[in-house]
Amino acid sequence: MRKGACRGVCADFRVKKPHGATRYGSGQGRCQICDVWIDHKGCHIKDGSQAQKDTIGWFCNCCNYRVRQKPRNKIYKEKLYNYKKSIM
């Protein structure tokens, strides 16, 4: 379903949930405008270059809005913290 500024390009970059890992922990981000989960391949950074897996500040290639790379909810923030702590 396309909304507002979404041009439909994001459908090419949609990713599936990884097994045994959190989405944010595995390097995926969520575009709220397009309402999809994407990885660095569907994003660019502020200077216009292609986003890499460990870069911060992704923007969606489809709508040019900021992509969320961290959870907002306290419970999921704790889950992400525990996940990152367990893999280090």
pLDDT at 4: 62
Q: Give tens-digit pLDDT for 10-61.
A: 889 999 999 988 899 999 999 999 999 999 999 999 999 999 988 999 999 9
Band the pLDDT of 3: cuts 50, 70, 90: low
Q: Is the per-residue pLDDT at 1 higher than 80?
A: no
Band the pLDDT of 87: cuts 50, 70, 90: confident
Segments of 5-76 assigned E as strands: 29-31, 36-38, 43-44, 59-60
pLDDT at 78: 94
Phi and psi torsions of 29, nearest 5°: -130, 165
